[in-house]
Amino acid sequence: MTQADRMNRLPKQFFATLTRKVAELQKNAPDLINLGQGNPDQPTPPHIVDALCAAAQNPVNHRYGSFRGERYLREAICSYYEREFGVSLDPTREVAILFGGKAGLVEVSQCILNDGDLALVPDPGYPDYQSGIALAGAQMEFMPLLLENDFLPDYRCIDEDVARRAKLMFLNYPNNPTAATATGAFFEETVQFARRSDTVVVHDFAYGAIGFEEKPVSFLATKGAKDVGIEIYTLSKTFNMAGWRVGFALGREDVIESLNLYQDHAYVSLFGAVQQAATAALRSSQVPVQELVDLYRKRRDTFLQALVDQSVPIVQSKGSFFVWLPTPEGVSSESFADQLLYDEHVVVAPGKGFGPHGEGYVRIGLLTDETRLSAAAKRIARAYHRTASLRQ
């Protein structure tokens, strides 16, 4: 068989190599601490599981459902956004139910980009933005996310010709991998840029519930945001529903309609019991969400303080469940990650895998208990200082 050209355009899956390394080492390293993934370690709250189990018993849910999802879920999504972010939405025209946020992030490029079109991508950023662009046969221009600009893109640095050509732009705050957050003022600049350049904004709000100093800002809460773009949300992180594959896109009507049309041809709809469980998650008490955020905050504080106590430079994590840690000066992200893996039995993700400007950092997931995180911090500090001393 000869693969279609679009398959050959897909970027190399950098983390597949890391997964293979970890699997091989794990056979002989029972003390391995895996902080390299973004997979929530807590269970889904019981009331959501109970809602699923009850709904699964209903024969109505054993049949194909509405192509574009059930109205009760779309209305629950709108109520959630109004309550949590102060954003009003029309459940018929401004909501697309997705088979997980990742699906929507890949699909939106198919809906908007033609062969040779240009998309703006954060660097470092979630690799699947690039996957969707590659499948569409489009081109990419990276927007550097730098520490000196709080890991926000600087629109003044985007070439005028690039801005004019860009049809699509991806953003993600709270950010994976840098753990940075965005301000309302930044999103106002984003709306202005999108209007000037006629660019559709896609804000990946996967970590929208996980902010530590203050609640994360929804892009759609910005005046004019629904005129220029959409926001994609997932229940994976907020409600520990990563394996349930349910998310939604919200905002600009023509983009939402295009996503719905695409999915009309690709799917029928989510299993009805999952839709009812998602509705329960969105409409019920949000106390479990706040408890989860508090858990991640304690983990962050414990881990970062342990590094500070051992004189390891850090970057403060403002949101998500990640730490973006600088490598020792002059040491590549892949080299440092390998040292941690083989010498200290700690798994981290090399920043290079998130884009060229991810070089010089590693991403650490706060997805184990505080005792293990403290142990990991000691091992990381040991490797950091050993490596730094060798380069002096």
Report pLDDT for 30: 78
What's the rounded mean pLDDT across residues 201-217?
96
What's the rounded mean pLDDT across residues 79-84?
97
Domains defined for the chain, CATH in brackets: 5-44+287-390 (3.90.1150.10), 46-283 (3.40.640.10)
Report pLDDT for 276: 97
Q: In this model, does residue 5 exceed pLDDT 90?
A: no
Q: What torsion do the CA atoms of 44, 48, 54, 57 make, to the nearest 10 degrees?
A: -50
Across the chain, mean pLDDT equals 94
Report pLDDT for 54: 97
Q: What is the pLDDT of residues 250-273, one digit of tens each?
A: 999 999 999 999 999 998 889 999
What's the rounded mean pLDDT across residues 170-176?
98
What's the rounded mean pLDDT across residues 330-340?
94
Q: How far is residue 191 from each of residues 111, 208, 228, 259, measured CA to CA in Å?
A: 21, 19, 7, 21
Contact 334, 356 (CB under 8 A): no
Q: What is the pLDDT of residues 6-54, one digit of tens each?
A: 888 888 777 777 788 888 877 777 789 999 988 899 999 999 999 999 9
What's the rounded mean pLDDT across residues 135-143?
95
> In a 3-state reduction of DSSP, which class is residue 183?
coil
Contact 183, 134 (CB under 8 A): no
Report pLDDT for 24: 80
What's the rounded mean pLDDT across residues 336-359?
95
Kindly state the helix (H) or strand (E) to which residue 135 belongs, with its residue range: helix 128-135
Confidence of residue 391 (pLDDT cuts 50, 70, 90): low
Confidence of residue 387 (pLDDT cuts 50, 70, 90): confident
Report pLDDT for 66: 86
What's the rounded mean pLDDT across residues 333-362?
95
What's the rounded mean pLDDT across residues 79-85?
97
Q: In this model, does residue 120 exceed pLDDT 70?
A: yes
Q: How far apart are the first and last CA of the chain?
A: 53
Q: What is the pLDDT of residues 288-305, one digit of tens each?
A: 999 999 999 999 999 999
Bond before 122 cis per omega within 30 degrees: no
Share of the chain above pLDDT 70, in %: 99
Which of 179-183, 220-224, 322-326, 384-388 has the lowest average pLDDT? 384-388
Share of the chain above pLDDT 90, in %: 86
Q: In this model, does residue 392 exceed pLDDT 70?
A: no
Kindly state the helix (H) or strand (E) to which residue 288 belongs, with its residue range: helix 287-309
Using DSSP bridges, classify how beta strands 361-365 and 349-350 pair: parallel, antiparallel or unpaired.
Answer: antiparallel
Q: What is the pLDDT of residues 304-322, one digit of tens each?
A: 999 999 999 999 999 999 9
Report pLDDT for 18: 78
